Amino acid sequence: MASHRRPKQPSRARVTVLTATAAAAVALTSQTAQAAPSAKPTKDEVKSKVDKLYQDAEKATEKYNGAKEKQGKLEKEIGTLQDKVARGQDEVNELRAGLGSLASAQYRSGGIDPSLQLFLSADPDSYLDKASTLEQLSGKQVEALRTIQEKQRSLAQQRQEAGDKLKDLADTRSELGKKKGEVQGKLAQAQKLLNSLTAAEKAALEEEEKRASRASERTALKAQEEPAPKKSAGTEAKSGGSAAAAKPVSGRATSAYAAGQSKIGSPYVYGASGPSSFDCSGFTSWSFAQANQTIPRTSQAQAQIGTRINSQSDLQVGDLVFFYSDLHHVGFYAGNGQILHSPRTGAVVRYESINNMPYMFGVRV
């Protein structure tokens, strides 16, 4: 006979424990999923991100260089104005002392001219309009008063100009600090990414850079040893800048390029302009300085000098070459599609393919 006994129901306490255990398991699974680390970026992904950060840092570096150059100019201009004001005030003081001597002589001879007395005790700039019309002033006194008035007006203008430049200098220093912070921030981000690589990955990246640099150096040096192919007149006429192509590179540009070659292996440092470290425009401006030629400090300003050369086929060794739409990078053309430049933080002055960056145009100095 079959048993019809009802199955035993779990106790309320047992149900509560099971439910709590299940809930805890679900929560633990959820937390584990949330805490699971994201996939570590590959060496190539890190390199791509670091290259972008270095490019952003270089943009900020050229703006930093521009602000630094402006600061230097303003400091010189302010110094010149302050010297002028000081000399002008000395001249005014001497003229006033002369009038004081004249007043003393008049007093000893029987009294001081009332108009001169009024001048010596009041602002001559506001007084002259009245005093110059008085008959009792001699021609010599009027001339002296006019000279003082003109000098005081000039002093007032110079003081105002110096004040304006001081305000501009304060703004420039503020901008300089911001750009410096921006550069340092980008470099810190890049370094953090590089630190995430293993020792083997870092070594692999360094070897890739060295290998590419050696290959570019061999290509550039080979091009300089071989005679450049001659262009026909028709070819030059078709190129985008025949006048620029017909003009040879100057002796100073050749000397500047040679000076740049002597610095191969020097490290890139933002804001540096030699002699042991450089940023991109610091490298080119230092190189030209060795050839006794001064060029602007920033890449954007350097792009405005000399003769522009649009076509890469018209470039000659020693020409300046500019990259990116905002012209934030500059180097020397080294021949055979290679450039010599100071690339970025973590790199050194070296040869590199001109096609590694978006070429804009060249300039023949």
Cα gap 297→282, rounded to integer Å:
7
Helical H runs in the chain? 12-35, 43-108, 114-120, 124-131, 139-195, 199-225, 233-238, 242-246, 251-261, 280-290, 299-302
pLDDT surpassing 50 at residue 98: yes
| Chain segment 58-96, per-residue pLDDT in tens | 999 999 999 999 999 999 989 988 888 888 888 878 777
Cβ atoms of 61 and 270 within 8 Å: the answer is yes
Fold that domain 239-364 belongs to in CATH = endopeptidase fold (from Nostoc punctiforme) (3.90.1720)
Q: Which of 13-22, 144-153, 217-226, 331-340 has the lowest mean pLDDT?
A: 13-22
Q: What is the pTM of this model?
A: 0.67
Cβ atoms of 335 and 317 within 8 Å: the answer is yes
Q: Which amino acid is at 73?
A: K
Phi, psi (rounded to 5 degrees) for 253 = -65, -40
What ranges do the domains of the chain cover? 43-195, 239-364
Cα gap 131→140, rounded to integer Å:
13
Give catalytic residues, as residue numbers: 280, 329, 341
Over pLDDT 90: what percentage of the chain?
A: 43
